[in-house]
Structure 1
Amino acid sequence: MIERVQPRPQHDLSPPSSPWRTPRFWRGVMVALAVGLVGWMLWRARGALIPFAIGALIVYLLAPLVARIEQQLPFAQRSPGLARTIAILVSYLLFFGGLALAGYILVPPLLEQAIQFVTNFPDYLRSLLQAVPHLSARLEQGLPPRLQIQIERQVESLVGVLFSITRPALLATVTAVSALFGFFSALVLLPFWIFYALRHERQALHWFYGLWPVQWQDDVRAIVHIIDRTFGAYIRGQLFLGVVIGTATGLAMWAIGLAQPLVLGLIAGVLELVPLLGPILSFLVIAVVALATDADKLFAVAIAFIVIQQLENNLLVPRVQGRAVQFNPAIVMLLLVIGGAIWGLLGTLLVVPIAAACRDVYRYLYRRLREAELASHSNARQLD
């Protein structure tokens, strides 16, 4: 009997297909091209998209309020669409109604005082320059004559530089504010855009999560939650602190009797958005006004600032921002310098929350990769 010999399997000796021939590679190319094209279009149209950037900020600020109002409605489970619409409309009424009321009450006197402030600020600096010799004479009593002369020269040169810088800056600020009021005519569609963005917020997030592989979606949700928690606590907290500190400063300057208290409060509220350095800058501006108009009120201004800062640091900041941004003040100052050098004013305002979000995301990804590494080692030991 002849034994049949089984043929040996023929191995495929053809070279493996190149990675660029796989569908996965071409999907990646399509995604990269689409992202690049959209990014290029957004960058080219960045000037026209400023209203929508403002609208995105308003959406981000109103989203928690809309969600809280929606949860309180008794028919939220039966009619989620109707509940969402009513919550958005109530949030609209509270937000834009508050802005309209504040504008009706504050804008006319604020504009009047702003014009007076910009007009008189050069005179404030001249008065301060004239008062410098008298102030330095009081401070320099008992110092050697040579040291007194050096101090006088340095102070006079410093005030001169401050005068040459401040006037163009103030004029540019007034020009920017005037352009901003004219720019509001381009914001007609903004309320409708904000409404639809809030209306379809959940669908947009669901669509975004669906772009990622299924095994990554939980991590993507966790990262989005980390970024939202950090940015939300910081940005909403800074805006709230700006309103409170600006109001408190304006009332304090009005009680002390300084000129243009609304403008001084507005300056303090806007500069409060700059971490650490904002209160110092606002105090310097208000100190110039106090020294130029009535130097005897400078002590009261300093006491008011000390009280306001103590209340902010010990009462407001722990409750408003919590532990969202945990940076040493020295690191914050370094971040402000880096952000201002790279992105200008916008970088100064956003570099701290961006750095905090990157730190928290890095910690999360490091922990997740460490857990995956330990799990793989454990599985390998079980197989052995």
Structure 2
Amino acid sequence: MNTKIIKTGQGILLLFLIIYIASLIDWVFRPLVVVFETLYIPIILSGFLYYLLRPLVNILNKKLERTISILLVYLILVAVLIGLLIIIFPILQRQFYSLTDNMPLIISDVQRRFVSIQQGETLQRYQLSGSLNIEGLILQLGDFVNQLGKSLAINMANFIGMLANTVLSLVIVPFTLFYMLKDGEKLSKYILSIFNESQREDVILIFRDIDKTLSSYIQGQGIVCLCVGALCYVAFLVVGLNYALLLAVIAGITNIIPYFGPWIGTIPAVIVGLFQSPVIALIIVITVIIIQQIESNLIAPQVIGKRLEIHPITIMFLILIVGRLVGLIGMILAVPIFAICKVIVTRGIQIWKLKSKEKF
């Protein structure tokens, strides 16, 4: 056992040494980086869609052939996307352009409101108007927005180039997803063939736990994001918030980041609400807190459960660290990757303990 551990450790150290040396040689490492940057988005999207669509494919596969089931699911998905583009996309487009076009007017209006409040009787009574330079703060905010607009205009060419690369990468997703849905079990069998007969049963258990963890997390997060987006949309409509659909979509999408995502998605809604009225902004904050309590205590436990078994503090620190190192993609992938590593380590320790007991 000690010899195996030493050999495994030597192999891991050798692998890291090879990676480190390759990173120092630009003509070796740079092509690998380009390949990774090109493929990681299609692979992530394919994996996400694989776990979302696999249950439907499995249901249809009971009556139809696997290939026909996948193609039928593709047709359903395309029909849903076309419907969303026809019904929702024009509204989102109008609201987005309206928000960007009206931003200078909104800032000017808010500036006048805050200046009137600053010069009002209440603030003068507490002698705050001299020290509270709200007009200056609003002017700084306006300058920031103008500089942001200039920066976006300058970098528009780079943005279009990046968007083109992303679109080209997304073309790969349907093909990758098709073969994942069709031949996913064959890939598992191929990986199992690498291991000895005595190890395969343990590897199967690890694969099964990883599959269950990813399935429950991805499917659950998808449902949670839809529910939060729908609840926010209804709440924003009731409150009378402008650009309700656009802001609700942002809130739903950012909810994919645990704990921090809901508050990141709330910031645009609060800003727009503040432009309309401080009361509306306060109502939005209270409403979002209520929605997050519903999501945390009712929706998430039902659709995700407690399969991850990761402490909330661990998740928070994990997202902060990985987000700092990798960015937004890291914040989204931190929890599932950590869950996979946790399954491998936990199951590996259990297997090692059982085999140690069998020897004695």
Q: Are the aligned partners of 2:266 and 2:288 in contact in 1 as well (CA < 8 Å)?
A: yes
Alignment equivalent of 1:290, drawn from 257, 273, 287 = 273
Identical columns (%): 25
2:86 maps to amino acid: Y
Partner of 1:103 in structure 2? 85
Of the three residues 156, 164, 187, the one matched with 2:144 is 164
Q: What is the aligned counterpart of 1:58 among 49, 59, 67?
A: 49
> Which segment drifts farther, 190-199 or 216-225?
190-199
Q: Paired residue for 1:365?
A: 348
Deviation (angstroms), 1:307: 3.4
Aligned residues: 339
2:99 paired with 1:94: no
Residue in structure 2 matching 1:315, options 298, 314, 317: 298
Shift of 1:319: 0.8
Decide whether aligned partners of structure 1 residues 107 and 367 sit closer, same or farther in structure 2, where only a CA change above 3 A counts: same
**Amino acid paired to 2:144:** S
In the alignment, what sits opposite 1:381? none
- In structure 2, do the counterparts of structure 1 residues 280 and 164 end up closer, same or farther at CA, with 3 Å as the change threshold? same
Matching residue within 255, 267, 280 for 2:263: 280
Alignment of 1:133-172 (within 5 A): 152=132, 160=140, 164=144, 168=148
Kept in 2, the 8 Å contact 1:274–1:348? The answer is yes
1:145-182: per-residue Cα shift (whole Å, max 9, x none)? 68x877x3699669947973897399769965996488
Q: Please name the residue that 1:345 is paired with.
A: 328
Instruction: Tell me which moved more, 269-278 or 112-121.
Output: 112-121
The match for 1:374 among 342, 351, 357 is 357
Identify the match of residue 59 of structure 2 among 52, 58, 68.
68
* Structure 1 residue 183 displacement after superposition: 4.7
How far did residue 237 of structure 1 move?
Answer: 1.8
Aligned partners of 2:114 and 2:134 also within 8 Å: no
**In the alignment, what sits opposite 1:117?**
99
What is the aligned partner in structure 2 of residue 45 from structure 1?
35
TM-superposed CA distance for 1:316, in Å, is 0.8
The Cα shift of 1:106 comes to: 0.9
What residue number does 1:222 align with?
Answer: 205
In the superposition, the TM-score normalised over structure 2's length comes to 0.77
Unaligned runs of 5+ residues in structure 1 are 1-23, 74-81, 378-384
* Alpha-carbon separation, structure 2, partners of 1:165 and 1:112: 20
Shift of residue 126 of structure 1?
Answer: 5.1
In 2, the alpha carbon distance for the partners of 1:183 and 1:127 equals 38
| Cα separation, 2, equivalents of 1:327 and 1:288 | 33
Q: Distance in 2 between matches of 1:317 and 1:271?
A: 15
Partner of 1:79: none
Pairing 1:175-186 to 2, within 5 Å after superposition: 180=163, 183-184=166-167
Aligned Cα root-mean-square deviation (Å): 4.1
Normalised TM-score (structure 1): 0.72
Give the deviation of 1:337 after TM superposition.
1.1
Cα pair 2:60 2:69 within 8 Å, conserved: yes
Q: Is the 1:227–1:357 contact (alpha carbons within 8 Å) kept by the matching residues of 2?
A: yes
